């Protein structure tokens, strides 16, 4: 099973260099790497060309967002599987091979997401649930405790686009990521549409990647990044007739978090959660 790695970059700086270096260090991981640059202004694409000449660079000329940029990379990929990797993530040796092995050995599996950790090796979530209330109530720190000790691949509803592998034939059949999602929600939407065709999505914790933490999104959205995540999810649930339930539940959840943060004197988290509440109330996903 051959593969191609697609990275969508927008001003990821030195993190992009580290990402590409992690691919180059693994002979399996770096067979074909495609960098889609969304009009970066920080010199990261030029540095990638100089330090990793085997990487194919596609200049889009403007910031298309993740979904459209990823589609552009997948359109020229030659592998049977397309692996999407954030520019602020570094794959551990053998990680991509483990994703491919999981897809190869699991009947009906067409999407697989890797396990994520931060720079200090602390666990990060990499998968979640479709149902709006289960997502809001169970995809939490406490709700995810049972997942932290898992190592074997297991079936999930959807995986994060931070580090995910998709069979190219399925990706083509689905028409790629929905470009109505600029950033956030496109991975949820793709996995959902795959599930409607009877395809399985796997989380593979042993396929490890170190994720620095939304560098490009942080540069673009600042403290409003979490609100943008929720907007992407609202767009998804609006298309499935579940926006009302999600909007009310999310506003209550993040409203409570804002109050608790404010009472405990944590002004920055309180303001961040307040932005999420405002998005829940005012955002029109049409």
pLDDT in tens, 51-89: 999 899 999 999 999 999 999 999 999 999 999 999 999
pLDDT, position 215: 57
For 284, the token pair is 């029109």
What number is the average pLDDT over the span 127-131?
Answer: 97
- Provide mean pLDDT across the span 233-261: 96
DSSP state for residue 60 in the 8-state scheme: -
* CA neighbor of 92 nearest in space, from 74, 114, 59, 71: 114
Structural domain boundaries in the chain: 3-213, 219-282
Residue 219 pLDDT exceeds 60: no
> Mean pLDDT over all residues of the chain?
93
CATH number of the 3-213 domain: 3.90.550.10
| Each residue's pLDDT tens digit, 93-108 | 999 999 999 999 999 9
Are the C-beta atoms of residues 90 and 19 closer than 8 Å to each other? yes
Q: Return the sign of the alpha-carbon dihedral for residues 200, 205, 206, 207.
A: positive
The rounded distance, in Å, linking the Cα atoms of 151 and 2 is: 24
Q: In the predicted model, is pLDDT for residue 229 greater than 60?
A: yes
- Could you tell me the pLDDT band of residue 5, with boundaries at 50, 70 and 90? very high
pLDDT at 3 over 70: yes
Percent of the chain with pLDDT over 90: 88
- Report the C-alpha gap between 182 and 64 in whole angstroms: 7
pLDDT score recorded for residue 47:
94
Distance CA 16, CA 278 (A): 33
pLDDT value for 111: 98
Beta-strand relationship, 3-9 and 109-117: unpaired
Mean pLDDT of 205-220: 76
**Statement: the pTM of the whole predicted model exceeds 0.75:** yes
- For the cut 90, the answer to whether the pLDDT of residue 218 exceeds it is no
Query: Residue 200: pLDDT above 90?
Result: yes
| Band of pLDDT at residue 30, cut at 50, 70 and 90 | low
CA-nearest of 154, 138, 70 to 105 is 154
What number is the average pLDDT over the span 128-146? 94
199: closest CA among 150, 246, 159, 239?
159
Among the residue ranges 23-27, 183-187, 191-195, 229-233, the one predicted with the least confidence is 23-27
Q: Is 102 exposed, middle or buried (0-12, 13-18, 19+ CB in 10 A)?
A: buried
pLDDT score at 216 = 54
Q: Is the pLDDT of residue 90 over 90?
A: yes
Q: What are phi and psi of 142, to 5 degrees?
A: -70, -40
pLDDT value at residue 133: 95
Mean pLDDT throughout 234-239?
Answer: 96
In the numeric block, the tokens 């190592």 are attached to 151
CB burial string 116-128: b at 16+ within 10 A, e below:
bbeeeeeeebbbb
What's the whole-number mean pLDDT along residues 117-122? 92
pLDDT for the residue numbered 272:
93
């Amino acid at each position: 099973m051959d593969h191609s790695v697609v990275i969508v970059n927008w001003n990821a700086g030195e993190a992009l260099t580290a990402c590409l270096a992690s691919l180059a260090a693994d002979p399996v991981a770096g067979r074909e790497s495609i960098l889609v640059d969304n009009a970066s202004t920080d010199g990261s694409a030029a540095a990638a060309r100089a330090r990793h000449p085997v990487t194919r660079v596609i200049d889009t000329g403007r910031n298309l967002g993740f979904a459209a940029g990823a589609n552009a990379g997948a359109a020229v990929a030659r592998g049977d599987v397309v692996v999407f990797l954030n520019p602020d993530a570094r794959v551990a040796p053998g990680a991509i091979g483990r994703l491919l092995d999981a897809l190869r050995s699991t009947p009906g599996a067409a999407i697989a997401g890797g396990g994520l950790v931060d720079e200090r090796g602390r666990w990060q979530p990499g998968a979640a649930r479709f149902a709006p209330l289960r997502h809001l109530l169970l995809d939490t720190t406490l709700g995810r405790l049972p997942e932290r000790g898992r190592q074997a691949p297991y079936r999930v509803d959807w995986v994060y686009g931070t580090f995910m592998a998709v069979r190219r034939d399925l990706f083509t059949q689905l028409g790629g990521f929905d470009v109505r999602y600029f950033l956030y929600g496109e991975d949820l939407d793709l996995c959902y549409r795959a599930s409607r065709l009877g395809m399985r999505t796997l989380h593979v914790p042993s396929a490890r990647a170190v994720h620095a933490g939304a560098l490009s999104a942080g540069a673009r959205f600042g403290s409003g990044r979490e609100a943008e995540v929720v907007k992407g999810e609202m767009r998804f649930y609006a298309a499935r007739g579940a926006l009302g339930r999600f909007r009310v539940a999310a506003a209550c959840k993040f409203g409570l978090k804002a109050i608790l943060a404010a009472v405990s004197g944590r002004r920055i988290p309180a303001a961040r959660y307040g932005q999420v509440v405002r998005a829940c109330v005012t955002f029109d996903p049409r």
